[in-house]
Structure 1
Amino acid sequence: MSHSRQALVVHPAAPDMEESHRTALSECIDAALTCAQACTTGADACLEEPEVAALRQAMRAQQNCAAICSASAQILSRFGSDFGPTPASVLRALDDLSTLCEDACRVHAGAYPHCRVTAEACARVRAAIVALFAAV
């Protein structure tokens, strides 16, 4: 069980949440945190490549994706009884920026393994978002 999942289980508001929602929420948080790390490392790896200028768009996308993933994980982790439903706008922004990042990194995935890793992390976030919307 991930730390995100454990935190959601022991949260005082946990009994108010359906199990399927709690599972989908924890998986989305975990995917966002993993993606933030992959994007941060991916952008740094791009800086080390000899053709760094060709990777500029991917690096910016990775930096933006890392930022929205981190912020989204924080927001999604706050679900006390007065919070209300998961803000759809947060999930839409996360989906939009992770899509842009995945697309930008897929262009370079064949030549740069770190771009492939980032694109795959973005795809996992997007799948977790779909599952979370389905659970609410």
Structure 2
Amino acid sequence: MSHQQHQQLIDALQNCIVACNHCYDACLKEEDIKMMAECIRLDRECAEICSYLAQALCRDTPFAKELASVCANICEACGDECKKHSHAHCQKCADACFQCAEACKKSA
């Protein structure tokens, strides 16, 4: 598949990367940072796997299905964690993560 055929997934991945990076940065500025530790960790995990998958899709990787499956799992974990927090940045990140997970599942 060409990278054009993956464009919808790449768009979801890029949206998730931006949301996770914003959430990560905003969580670091929260008063009770210990409470945000798992959210921060998963924001990084999620942004990194989304970034890798987007790059790999542009190279037409033969591992697209496997990577998309792993990415979906990490996006769901990040979304689940972000949903636990009432901060607007966490809620926006959760939405982006769940949308990305769905796009990954369609591709996997």
The answer, yes or no, to whether TM exceeds 0.5 is: yes
Query: RCO (CA 8 Å, sep 6+): is it higher in 1 or 2?
Result: 2
In structure 2, runs of 5+ residues without a counterpart are: none
Q: State the partner residue of 1:119.
A: 94
In structure 1, runs of 5+ residues without a counterpart are: 1-6, 9-21
- Does residue 1:46 correspond to 2:27, yes or no? yes
Alignment partner of 2:59 out of 70, 73, 78: 78
Offset of residue 60 of structure 1 = 0.2
Give 1:89's aligned amino acid: E
Q: State the partner residue of 2:18.
A: 37
TM-align CA RMSD: 1.7
Give 1:121's aligned amino acid: A
Q: Following the alignment from structure 1 to structure 2, what is the Cα–Cα distance between the partners of residues 87 and 70?
A: 13
- Secondary structure of the 1:100 match is helix
Q: State the partner residue of 2:77.
A: 100
Q: State the partner residue of 2:9.
A: 28
% identical aligned pairs: 29
Task: Tell me if the contact between 2:72 and 2:102 (Cα under 8 Å) persists in the aligned partners.
Answer: no
- Secondary structure of the 2:31 match is coil
After TM superposition, the runs of 4+ consecutive aligned structure 1 residues lying more than 4 A away are none
Task: Tell me if the contact between 2:23 and 2:89 (Cα under 8 Å) persists in the aligned partners.
Answer: yes
Q: Following the alignment from structure 2 to structure 1, what is the Cα–Cα distance between the partners of residues 106 and 68?
A: 11
- Secondary structure of the 1:120 match is helix
Give 1:75's aligned amino acid: A
Give 2:36's aligned amino acid: L
Q: Following the alignment from structure 2 to structure 1, what is the Cα–Cα distance between the partners of residues 51 and 102?
A: 17
Q: TM-score, normalised by structure 2?
A: 0.90
Offset of residue 96 of structure 1 = 1.2
Deviation digits for residues 64-90 of structure 1, max 9, x if unmatched?
A: 0000010010001112xxx55x52211
Alignment partner of 1:91 out of 30, 52, 68: 68
